[in-house]
Structure 1
Amino acid sequence: MANQDKKGSAALLVKPNKKKIAERHHVENEEKYTRGSSLNAKKMKAGYKLKEKIRKQEKEAKEAAQAAALAERLHGEEAGYLEAEGMEKTKNFKQDQLADAVDINTSSKIFNLDLDEFGPYALDYTRNGRHLLLGGKKGHIAAFDWQTSKLHFETHVKETVRDVTWLHNETMLAAAQKKYVFIYDNNGMEVHRMKNHIEVNKLEFLPYHFLLASVGNAGYLKYQDTSTGQLVAELRTKLGGCDTMTQNPWNAVINLGHGNGTVTMWAPTMTTPLVKMLCHKARVTAMAVDPSGRYMATAGLDNKLKVWDIRKYGLIQEYSTKAPAASLSISQRGLLAVGWNSQVTIWKDIFRTKQTAPYMQHLQAGSMMNDLEFCPFEDVLGVGHQKGMSSIVVPGAGEPNFDSLEANPYQTKKQRQEAEVHGLLDKLQPEMIMLDPTQIGKMTRATKEEAQKRQREDQAEQAAEADDLPTKDRKRMRGRNSSLKRYLRKKERRNIVDQDKLDTMDQLQKLQKDQAKPSSGFTTLDIF
């Protein structure tokens, strides 16, 4: 009995409990990431190899769903939007009301900078959303850490400043001034003057390629490599001066808006636009592309706001505005901000369904809008206008969880230096800019029959071209380069006199006599 008890207890220990194993491997919220009910390969009427393949695919899908559910625990923050109660509308909420309702940290992000003398202002945030750059049209340039109110530098260049942008990080910036584009460091010291970029209106920096793109009154789109200092490309648009430009963050394609209402998409390796779309009946005044690269919003002098699906280059929605929009910006969570006259209108879910009312509104009394930009990883919208700059809170605009290897708002000096080195080592070449970057590194898998069919078609085209070409008579070699002359010279070099050489000389003399005889046929003069 004792031995039986021991064997029974051992059997209980060894026998697996399938229910506990299933509970142990089940992850919370796993169903959220599954692709529906799984296939049971055992019940399928298929071969062994197919069953094993299906079983392997189902196992990989389950592991991917569990990994996504586990990674969800690392997302400590969640995105939230404004919610109105009863008959209230979220568009009626003012910034003063939001400042009283939110915490102290969020309320400190609502502020105004009164700079009446040097406006209107253009602005730009760094990729991690920590630093802000301001450029007044009358020459004022300032850069600072807007969250801690630490000023990097402030200067006056005493000439027109049309646009400003950060480069790879907060240590370098570019300013499009009256004639040239200038590079400054974070102390306000002039580092470089780019004489190839003349009368520039707009600047864009491609962070993964280290390319600074500019377009101006001459109608040339130029790419400057900021890591090597070389001018990569100089493309003539042939559509006149341009002052509307944005980049597609997904594929690094530059979008330009022109005076005839068209939008062109450019890559530095092509002298002609990749895509040319007729978007408006008048000049394009503003343009923005969402971070996923799927949608584009455009505004024109025809008082129209249009939303496009650039995967199929089709119009999704169209809205009428009371005045032409001066600037557009799309947040990380898909909110669209439209700046027109002295107002800012923010739309929610505009890329999904037709909207009848805006999500939020903001009025900057007595000051015309010039530039809008959402701050990354923050529910903040920066507004550059005639009288300075304003920062307003837009709940649900920013991505709440960031990737510290991609853009870290809390990076130290050491981390910034390491990120700069890694960025240079991983720099992409200009040739990799294309409409569909997923095609890079792929092979065209054509079957043997398709390859043979294509080869036959090419051969048929070549044969048809050969038949169409006029045939030329073979040039008969006479004189010094004739075969007989060459043969005789060869014999003379060897000092050989034989019967073969004598026969050849007789043949050559006979040929020369025949050529010297006049033609026996009638000529045109003989007939008449």
Structure 2
Amino acid sequence: MEVTPEKDVAGKDFSPFEQEISDELEVKVKKYLRGEGANLEVLQDKKLKGQLAVREELYGKSAKAAAKVEKWLMPSEGGYLEPEGIEKTWRIKQEDIAREVDILSARNQYDIVLPELGPYTLDFTASGRYMAAAGRKGHLALVDMKNLNLIREIQVRETVRDVVFLHNELFFAVAQKKYPYIYNREGTELHCLKEHGAVLRLQFLKNHFLLAIPGSGEPNFDSWVANPYETSKQRREKEVRSLLDKLPPETIMLDPTKIGTVKPQKKKEKPAKKERETEMEAAVEAAKDVTLKKKTKGRNKPSMRMKKRKEIIENAKRPFLEQQLKGEELSRKKQKVSQESELPLSLQRFAHKKPS
């Protein structure tokens, strides 16, 4: 998509400053364009060609509008210090920065001296408007940093380790000597978290509305599990120890409900094909040796006796034949499942099903 730069209405040439702004806007416009424009010359349909021309024009106008918003309304990039030669940034003082920045930025410079009840821990709201200060000797203060007005100041008369704002400036939490406490903006105690005990650091997770206790208690890691200072020798020893402590594969179970229960007996293994044939032949031989009862006259014909003996043999074969059919059907199902499992789950429903 191409966008032609705007020209002066009077047809005059741009000044160098105006030309620089125009070039900068043109670069920003390219960032908001939706790819290459459609080639309208090759279209034969006049109606479609007109619709696409209008749409391309709208795309160009929206890209120009977005570029102007980015240029004039969006906040500029953050500043930074760039040393020259062997100059070090940590040697630059606040007074040196205040002399170089604009007047509004220079007004934001402040110096708070609190020599008696420190050291102090500070926390700011997300907007930077309010500051909470907590002195180690129990001093708590809320300050409006826009006009540097003291909102509230209290003395809890015990050790304070950390302070953090909650979801807004109306509530803040303090890690005191024994427990963490929650106060409102007026300094009134709202809650005491006695179940957490002594806490060293506090953090509020704004996306979860949770007060998180990091570094609570003294650091006491398990050097056999996670040792941040382990040497190469300790690492090798840990690997050997973990291999020795590894559970045997037969004791690993996916179902925790079966732990501690009696292991069921294994089902009787299915006989092989030759064994089934041998058993069936033995059953047929046994059926042939069965002595038939003598019937009354008319029911004891040789044909009737032959039919009865054949029925006995078929009944002897039936269990073995049914078992064989079940085994063949199960093997077919397993083969079908294995073939389907080779495909991804999303494509299995498109697999060609062979007619049964």
Higher helix share: 2
What is the TM-score of this pair, normalised by structure 1?
Answer: 0.33
Higher strand share: 1
Question: Max radius of gyration: which structure?
Answer: 2
What is the TM-score of this pair, normalised by structure 2?
Answer: 0.47
